[in-house]
Chain A
Amino acid sequence: MSIDELIITLKDAIVGLDEDLAEKTTEEIIATNFDINEIIEKGITEAARIIGEKFESMEYFLGELLIAEEIITKSLNRFIFVLPAGDRIEKKGTVVIATVYGDIHDIGKNLLSQMLKIHGFEVHDLGRDVPSIQVVNKAMETGADIIALSSLMSTTMPSQKEVIEMLTEFGNREKIKIIIGGGSTSPEWNESIEADGWGETVWDGVAMAKAIMGVE
């Protein structure tokens, strides 16, 4: 098979949740003189996009999402492991991500965190119930482009606002974009706290991050 065919096979294996085929194809690609960025672009992110569509149409649910993500992460790690010195994955941007202070519900946040990594972002995942000051500090320390904040319980939504206020206080509001999501949030909430974007799904989050960085 040509490298193009192999990449398509990998993509289809991921979309079809075929772990064995994905693993086999990954090894076959590694045996060739491969370009990591081509694989990510044409294979992996394309697969993620199709899975996103399937999730949107509800053909796939959380279980399928998680399986796909595991397959992708495994394959990606394998590529990175054998990556020749000098080759590197194009970094799309740096994201600090957290479930806000007061909230410990992190399934959605974990999915976005993984998906951003798959799409070539450097991700600093601070976990859950993270004090706002910690989010802001980490973002300044890493020179983050984006802060992504999740809140499931409506009682913890104000913590998103708090991060924005702190960032403004530190004079860094202009440099760092803030995207929000989570069960209790809405576009209206996004507008009222003057965040830079609200997403309902993991794919909305990825799309916003890409748009902010001006990358396809």
Chain B
Amino acid sequence: MEAAQALGVDISTLCAGKGTCGKCKIRVMGEATTRLERTESEMKHLSEDEVQAGIRLACLTRLGESTVIYVPLRSRVGSQRLQTEGLDVPVEPSPLVRKYRVTMPKPQLQDSRADEDRLLAALTEQYGLPELGVDFDVYRNLPVTLREADWEATAVVWGNRIIALEPGDTSDRCYGLAVDVGTTKIAGFLLDLRSGAVVGVAARMNPQIPFGEDIMSRVTRVMMGGWDAVNELQGAVISGVNEIIEECCEKADVKPEEIYELNFVGNTVMQLLFLGVWPRHVAFAPYTPAGRRGVDVKASTLGLRANPGANAHHLPVIGGFVGADNVAVVLASKMLESDEMVMAIDVGTNTEIDLGNKDLVMADSCASGPAFEGMEIKFGMRATTGSIEKISIDPDTFDVYYRTIGDASPIGICGSGLVDAPAEFLKTGLIMPRGNFVTEMTERTDRLRKGLNGWEFVIAWKKETEIDTDIVITLGDIRELQKAKGAIHTGADLLMQRMGVTDESISKLVVAGAFGNYIDPENARIIGMYPEIPLERIEFAGNLAGTGARMTLMSAEMREYAEEISSKVKYYELAADKDFQKEYINSLYFPHADLTKYPETVELLRRFGQKI
């Protein structure tokens, strides 16, 4: 695993190399000398055939001197459909950075004012600006810059400071970058700060993934590795952002030096790892963040490729498990301005849920896990070429119709397909509400069978696939999906109960997040991912955190508003709720143990012939 990281080969890992996730299967070729026998953990993830074929878990395999390793397609992180677009909410441009072209009289014996005074006086005269501060780096070069520019220059002003001074008139080139730093994915948007237009978009997998796919694994890594690990993880995410900057700039024909303001959102652990703050305490009860308010720091201090004077801002967070990305979601959804009740669900490895209106918004977070991102699912994968994204099953013949991304032969199933599968099973009577396969159905279809790991249903036969094996959904997969959707439902339901809100009184449900745009809203409701809110009130917003990041890049008012949101939204600690366990277990059922919560879904299932 370390060798692969050093070579820049992305091998999938979920458990940060602890040998528990089984996602990093590799094949050791030839007569390689591999030390270490296979351990108990490793054997659990390997079939007999795989052992015969020399398959190992990369994280538990120590390499000999020179070894050829084959990394199967399934173990590669792969190039992903990086869903970056999100709703566009227009804001009145009022950026924190402004440019002022200014001309000054040349100094003479009769006018020997200091260069700084000359510049500031000209700015006051020509633009009515109050006396500004001058960044030290600008100050040091002031005499040279002004003379080389022949006393015509453009001052870049952030707040009440001059952060850069450029020769000539560059006032028509002023850019900013909004970045959503996700646990899995980083999405960046290059904006023209004068108009608010998005001129470039780029996304990358978070380069921290090799250090652990979830945030807790990464914090554990830091706890074991100390400050070196903090720096390493920070360096990784910064390098990812720098690649995004490069790509955006190239697309838009902008130089990185023309970026003067960068605005970041991310969950609270990502905030700490991005800023290089010691992160352990947020991952340890009672899960306190280091700081709640927004942070301003020179981009150059963080090693970001932008103008040397550029400012980097990280939006404020709400609590230990509800971060700046959620502040951005609340901001973009405008729920704190709404008379009616609005619920927002931002689906990810950690799912944040907000509920409220202009009087009160509460937020909680649940560890929904990476199942909907394809992890811990036998043939699960991210939304890349060849992943099955849509499934439907004929209720009479049980023939399966599926669609893959890029219309390629299937290699696995991604999140939207994983929402469809249990919903289709339920509709066609293949599973019961408690998630079990109805084993009598083997009489009606040979797709349902008992495999090596228990009951499974064939989605794609071997001959149709790219990977030379049947693609199936196992009972174990269904259990994982139950846990994921159960966690999300519990988060939504308990917030509603604690606030005394009913399904009917929710005027809008905003579903945001990585696969937000691609999931089937009805199927997601059939499996009980969220409460039974009328479908027409459900809105898919895509990357709403990114939308909020853009809005707060463009507008000083919005940035102030983010601070207000951060202090106003009440964080609710879900796992401490006395009913959490009961509600979670009830939420594991499709759609729920208490069917009275889902009258419409129950009626639909009965129409399909389900005896519930």
A positions within 8 Å CB-CB of B:
57-59, 61-64, 66, 101-107, 110, 129, 153-158, 184, 186-189
Contact = CB atoms under 8 A, between A and B. Distances in A.
B41 A102 contact: no
A187 B43 CA distance: 12
Contacts of A186: 18-20, 41
Contact of B575 (A66, A104, A184): A104
B434 interface: yes
Contacts of B219: 154-155
Given A62-B585, A63-B585, A155-B220, A102 B20 contact: no
Contacts of A184: 18, 20, 216, 220
In the A-B complex, the 6 residue pairs with the smallest Cβ-Cβ separation, listed nearest first, are: A155-B283, A102-B284, A154-B220, A129-B285, A58-B475, A187-B40
Contacts of B455: 58
Given A102-B285, A106-B581, A187-B40, 15 more contacts: A58-B454, A59-B436, A61-B482, A62-B588, A63-B589, A103-B285, A104-B573, A105-B575, A154-B220, A156-B284, A184-B216, A184-B220, A186-B41, A187-B39, A187-B41
Interface string B470-497: 0000011001001000000000000000
A66 B575 CA distance: 18
Interface in B6-39: 16, 18-20, 39
B479 A58 contact: yes
Interface string B180-196: 00000000000000000
Contact of B216 (A63, A155, A187, A188): A155
A106 B219 CA distance: 21
A3 B586 CA distance: 36
Interface string B588-609: 1100010000000000000000
Interface string B204-228: 0000000000001101100100000
A155 B269 CA distance: 12
B521 interface: no
A104 B576 contact: yes
Nearest to A159: B284
B435 interface: yes
A63 B280 contact: no
Contacts of A156: 283-285
A153 B283 contact: yes
Nearest to A100: B285
A155 B584 contact: no
Which of B219, B220, B280, B286 counts the most A-chain CB atoms under 10 A from its CB?
B220
B445 to A, nearest CB: 20
A61 B588 contact: yes
Contacts of A187: 39-41
A101 B286 CA distance: 10
Contacts of B593: 63
A106 B574 CA distance: 13
B581 A107 contact: yes
A181 B98 CA distance: 57
Nearest to B433: A63
Contacts of A155: 216, 219-220, 223, 280, 283-284
Contacts of B280: 155
A61 B434 contact: yes
Contacts of A129: 285-286
A57 B439 CA distance: 13
Listed residue (B40, B286, B479) with the most chain A CB atoms within 10 angstroms of its CB? B40
Contacts of B19: 186, 188
A129 B482 CA distance: 26
Nearest to A198: B40
A186 B286 CA distance: 25
Contact of A154 (B216, B285, B475, B586): B216
5 contacts: A63-B586, A102-B285, A106-B581, A154-B18, A187-B39
B592 to A, nearest CB: 11
Contacts of B40: 187
Contacts of B581: 106-107, 110
Most buried by B among A64, A66, A104, A156: A104
Interface in B438-487: 454-455, 475-476, 479, 482
A216 B403 CA distance: 53
A129 B284 CA distance: 9
Nearest to A111: B581
Contacts of B476: 58
B277 to A, nearest CB: 15
Residue with the highest number of chain B CB atoms closer than 10 Å, among A59, A61, A107: A61
A66 B19 CA distance: 30
B588 A57 contact: no
Nearest to B219: A155
Nearest to B217: A154
Contacts of A102: 283-285
A161 to B, nearest CB: 12
B564 to A, nearest CB: 29
Contacts of B220: 154-155, 157, 184
B359 to A, nearest CB: 29
A63 B588 contact: yes
A188 B39 contact: yes
Contacts of B482: 61
B137 to A, nearest CB: 39
A66 B16 contact: no
B436 A66 contact: no
Nearest to B221: A154
A121 to B, nearest CB: 21
Contact of A188 (B18, B284, B589): B18
Contacts of B436: 59
Most buried by A among B20, B280, B584, B588: B20
Nearest to B222: A155
Given A66-B585, A153-B216, A187-B40, A158 B223 contact: yes
Nearest to B215: A155
A153 B220 CA distance: 9
A58 B453 CA distance: 10
Nearest to A107: B581
B598 to A, nearest CB: 16
Nearest to A153: B216
A61 B477 CA distance: 13
A105 B52 CA distance: 39
B431 to A, nearest CB: 12
A111 to B, nearest CB: 10
B62 to A, nearest CB: 14
A188 B475 contact: no
Nearest to B593: A63
A21 B114 CA distance: 96
A188 B585 contact: no
Contacts of A57: 454
A107 B584 contact: yes
Interface string B38-49: 011100000000
Task: Count chain A CB atoms within 10 A of each CB in B286, B436, B584, B585 and give the residue with the most.
Answer: B585
A137 to B, nearest CB: 19
A67 B280 CA distance: 37
